[in-house]
Copies of this chain bind each other. A is one copy, B any other.
Amino acid sequence: MPLGERARDKSESRYCGVETEFSNDMPHLLSFNIDGAFDFVLTPLVDPAYRPSQGSFGDKGPGALPVAGSDLVLSPAQWSSHVVGKISSWIDLDSDDEVLRRDSEIILKQELAWASHLSLQACLLPPPKGISCANYARCVNQILQSSSNLQLWLRIPLRKHEDGDPVDDESLGGDPIDAWETWNSFRLLCEHNNQLSIALDVLSSLPSSNSLARWFGEPVRAAILHTDSFLTNARGYPCLSKRHQKLVTGFFNHSVQVVISGGKTSVDLAANYSGNHVDSNKKHPLKLYLDYIGYLYQKMDPLPEQEQYELGYRDFLQSPLQPLMDNLEAQTYETFEKDTVKYTQYQRAVSKALLDRVPDEKASSVTTVLMVVGAGRGPLVRASLEAAEETSRKLKVYAVEKNPNAVITLHSLVKLEGWENLVTIISSDMRHWDAPEEADILVSELLGSFGDNELSPECLDGAQRFLKPDGISIPSSYTSFLQPITTTKLFNDVKAHNDLAHYETAYVVKFHKVARLAPCQPVFTFTHPDTSPNKDNQRYTKLKFEIPSDTGSALVHGFSGYFDSTLYKDVHLGIEPTMPTPNMFSWFPIYFPLRTPLCIKPGTPLEVHMWRCCDTSKVWYEWCVASPSPSPIHNSKGRSYWVGL
């Protein structure tokens, strides 16, 4: 039964499995463990003593695979919901022993064919035995080409050699052992196949946090917790170290299922299990471990409401808006207008600007002219009027909006609120409007996830024509930020399109299964108003990221982008991860993919170049990696992705 219930969270991490040895009495094995409150068993499908090259085996006769039970011993639903197949762990497809290698290849194919026949959802592949895994990967890749739906979980020990550790296996040639590198080789050889995922063997000692963090960008489906990785608390019950607890909570948050592995006991007990439900819970030898995992699951903080709402957006590629070329729909306005935090920040900024601009003694005599450019359905008009009221300043508002549909709503709003004497509605593109007077304050919210990517600079260039020389622009500046990430899920989603254009498009994404490999760095900054003579909205920046050396090697699938904006003086607004505006939901970050994922070895800086390019009809970004190995220039001439002017 599930570990617990969390509002709206239907992730698979609420199911807990148990690893068992081989048993040829599957019905008993299953009922013993299901009655023991586990949700599924991870169990061998074929007698581990069997070797194909040794011909007939046991009483099954020649040619028959000595399986744990015929397909008829369990119902199809039982096989598919409660059994994950464990491929024979003796296989070694990269052995120098040719007989062993061929036996391994034969049994792997046979067992996976059997698992498909049973409609299992997943099978666990044993860990690669040496540092080379090319033949293993090739065989698995061939099987993956056959387009069955079977998920393959490659078992990987959660281990990384840290500086100063003794190298514990001479056979590995003194190389540092980083299980992530084994995984990385395997999946590169298999071309990021999305039926291939990971089951991590969690051991009693854990590598560094930076090293662990890499796994959250990978398709980890299960974490196998061994009973000997548990501690014993003062009352004699099993528990986990703080670091292990944190890791397990991380797994729960990333849809990773826990599997408890307690060695052989469960099978022996299952064999003697009577099926008496009254006793069964008591009898399961791993009950206390399961209870503890359930306790960790249940004590997690509930998901904030906004997070619950956004669950469906996690790791989902969205094309960025074309806010100038396309008119937003009512639905979109509706969504963004709910972001009260954003408008509160604008109101604070306008208030401060009004107080700076009009001293108290002139509050009743001076009327400030404020223009909201890109007024939409009016939320910034309302925030500005509230700022005026709050500061007791007199305000005259122009609401400039290019979308005629939104203008209709604006007129209704003004009438409804009785703002006819305060607000003038202008149905025009701010870049072409011929203003009847100059503004003291220009308020706009034309920001994209990457700051300038919805062409705020170009729009405000047009609008600043009617700003007084000493006028104020809110926002006064914004900066974009970038950081390298591992995101197997998103890379695979981009790859699935199988064309160049999708590899060269920036997407809006609520990142979730992602590893952030280095701190963000600023990319482009725009300030407003900008009256410099050689004003140019083209930009070029080189960034050099240093991935912390205790991370180990890492694979870069691209970059996540953010922005931070100064609305006015100390009033900020933004999503940069170290200083996000709390509880604001109008922007998800942006994802710039790389056409070929790049493996970065420890201590090697990653040099990224980014350009903002403009011509008469559009703005676009180009990007590339220059070092350690140059990538193609992405999106040359905006061939794949651009924002229309």
Q: Does A540 contact B (CB under 8 A)?
A: yes
Q: Could you tell me if A134 and B626 are in contact, using CB atoms closer than 8 angstroms?
A: yes
Q: Does A189 contact B (CB under 8 A)?
A: yes
In Å, the complex CA distance between A631 and B184 comes to 11
Q: Could you tell me if B138 and A632 are in contact, using CB atoms closer than 8 angstroms?
A: no
Q: Could you tell me if B631 and A135 are in contact, using CB atoms closer than 8 angstroms?
A: no
Q: Does A268 contact B (CB under 8 A)?
A: no
Chain-B contact segment, one of A159-167, A274-282, A351-359, A633-641: A633-641
Q: With A142-B637, A636-B142 in contact, is A134–B191 under 8 Å at CB? A: no
Contact of A145 among B132, B630, B636 (CB under 8 A): B636
Q: Mark A603-645, 1 if CB is under 8 A from B, else 0.
A: 0000001010000000000101010011111001101000000
Contact of A596 among B101, B142, B596 (CB under 8 A): B596
In Å, the complex CA distance between A637 and B141 comes to 9
Contact of A188 among B185, B189, B629, B636 (CB under 8 A): B629
Q: With A145-B639, A626-B185 in contact, is A135–B609 under 8 Å at CB? A: yes
Q: Does A372 contact B (CB under 8 A)?
A: no
Q: Does A542 contact B (CB under 8 A)?
A: yes
Contact of A134 among B101, B132, B188, B609 (CB under 8 A): B609
Q: Residues of B contacting A501 with CB < 8 Å?
A: none
Q: Does A599 contact B (CB under 8 A)?
A: yes
In Å, the complex CA distance between A145 and B634 comes to 12
Q: Could you tell me if B637 and A134 are in contact, using CB atoms closer than 8 angstroms?
A: no
Q: Mark A107-135, 1 if CB is under 8 A from B, else 0.
A: 00000000000000000000000001011
Interface residues of A in 559-597 (CB under 8 A from B): 596
Q: Does A137 contact B (CB under 8 A)?
A: yes
Q: Could you tell me if A632 and B188 are in contact, using CB atoms closer than 8 angstroms?
A: yes
In Å, the complex CA distance between A184 and B627 comes to 12
Contact of A632 among B190, B636, B637 (CB under 8 A): B190
Q: Which 4 A-B pairs have the closest CB atoms?
A: A188-B630, A191-B632, A134-B609, A185-B630
What are 6 A-B pairs at a CB distance below 8 A? A135-B540, A138-B609, A145-B639, A188-B629, A189-B624, A596-B596
Known: A134-B542, A138-B624, A145-B637. 12 other contacts (CB 8 A): A132-B542, A132-B626, A134-B609, A134-B626, A134-B630, A135-B611, A138-B609, A138-B611, A142-B637, A185-B630, A191-B633, A596-B596
